[in-house]
Structure 1
Amino acid sequence: MNPQWLSDPELQSALHTLRHHLPTARPRVAMLLGSGWGGVTAHIEQPHRIPYAQLPGFPQPSVAGHAADVLVGRLGPHEVAVLTGRKHTYETGDPSAMKLPLRVLRAWGCEVLVQTNAAGSLRADLPPGSLMALSDHINLPQRSPLIGEAGNERFVSMVNAYDADLRTQARQLAQAAGHTLHEGVYVWFVGPQFETPAEIRLAQRLGGDAVGMSTVPETLIARHAGMRVLALSLITNMGAGLSDENLSHDHTLAQAQAASQRACEVLCHIVRHLLL
Structure 2
Amino acid sequence: MDPSDAVSLYSCSFDKCEETAQWLLSHTMQRPKFAIVCGSGLGMLAEPLKNQESFSYAEIPNFPSSTAPGHAGQLVFGELQGKLCVCMKGRFHMYEGYSLWKVTFPIRVFKLLGVEILIVTNAARALADSYRTGELMIIRDHINLPGFSGQNPLLGPSQERFGPHFPAFSSPYDQELRALALEISESLGYSSFVKEGVYCMVGGPNFESVAEARLLHMLGADAVGMSTAPEVLVAKDCGLRIVGLSLIVSKVAKEYASRESASREGVLEVSRTWAAPLQTLVTELVSRIGPSSLACSGAL
TM (norm. structure 1) is: 0.93
Cα separation, 2, equivalents of 1:149 and 1:249: 36
Partner of residue 80 from structure 1, selected from 61, 81, 85: 85
Aligned to 1:51: 56
- CA distance in 2 between counterparts of 1:154 and 1:45 reads 37
Q: Can you list the C-alpha shifts for 1:52-78, whole angstroms capped at 9, x where unaligned?
A: 122111111111100111111111131
Structure 2 counterpart of 1:66, one-letter code: H
- Percentage of identical aligned residues: 34
- Structure 2 equivalent of residue 61 of structure 1: 66
Tell me the residue number matched to 1:167: 178
In structure 1, give the amino acid aligned to 2:60.
Answer: L
Question: Counterpart of 2:262 in structure 1: which amino acid?
Answer: L
Distance 2:102 2:234 in 1: 10
Aligned match of 2:157: 149
Contact 1:11 1:56 in 2 (8 A): no
Counterpart AA for 1:41:
A
Cα offset, 1:136, TM superposition: 0.3
CA distance in structure 1 between the aligned counterparts of 2:136 and 2:157, rounded to whole angstroms: 34
2:219 is aligned to 206
Q: Following TM superposition, by how much is the alpha carbon of 1:220 offset from its aligned partner in structure 2, in angstroms? A: 0.6
Distance 2:277 2:106 in 1: 28
Alignment-mate amino acid for residue 250 of structure 2: N
Distance 2:39 2:227 in 1: 9
Point out the more displaced range, 108-117 or 50-59: 50-59
Q: CA deviation at 1:235?
A: 0.1
Structure 1 residues without counterparts, runs of 5 or longer: none
Taking the aligned partners of 1:42 and 1:130, their CA distance within structure 2 comes to: 21
Moved over 6 A (4+): 4-7
Unmatched 5+ residue regions in structure 2?
1-6, 294-300
- Rounded Cα–Cα distance in structure 1 between residues aligned with 2:54 and 2:28: 10
2:20 paired residue among 4, 14, 17: 14
1:185 equivalent in structure 2: 198
5 Å matches for 1:216-231? 216-231=229-244
Q: For residues 178-214 of structure 1, what are the alpha-carbon distances to aligned partners after superposition, in whole Å with 9 as ceiling and x for unaligned?
A: 1132110011110101011111111111111101100
> Hey, what's the Cα distance between the residues in 1 that align with 2:104 and 2:273?
31
1:269 and 2:257 aligned: no
Would you say 1:247 and 2:262 are equivalent positions?
A: yes
Q: Tell me if the contact between 1:179 and 1:266 (Cα under 8 Å) persists in the aligned partners.
A: no
Contact 1:170–1:274 under 8 Å retained in 2: no
Q: Which residue identity is paired with 1:144?
A: N
Aligned counterparts of 1:186 and 1:149: Cα–Cα separation in 2: 28
Aligned residues: 272
Distance 2:268 2:280 in 1: 18
What is the aligned partner in structure 1 of residue 4 from structure 2?
none
Bigger shift: residues 224-233 or 94-103: 94-103
Find out whether 1:118 has 2:126 as its counterpart: no
- Secondary structure of 1:141's match? helix
TM-score normalised according to structure 2 size: 0.86
Q: Distance in 2 between matches of 1:33 and 1:256?
A: 11
Report the Cα offset of residue 251 of structure 1.
Answer: 1.2
**Cα distance in 1 for residues equivalent to 2:74 and 2:41:** 16
Cα displacement (A) at 1:151 = 6.6
Give, in angstroms, the shift of residue 261 of structure 1.
2.2
Cα deviation digits, residues 61-112 of structure 1 (max 9, x gap): 1111001111111111311111111110111052222332111111111011
- Aligned-residue Cα RMSD (Å) equals 1.9
Q: Are the aligned partners of 2:135 and 2:248 in contact in 1 as well (CA < 8 Å)?
A: yes
Helix, strand or coil at the partner of 2:110: helix
User: What is the Cα deviation at residue 6 of structure 1?
Assistant: 9.9
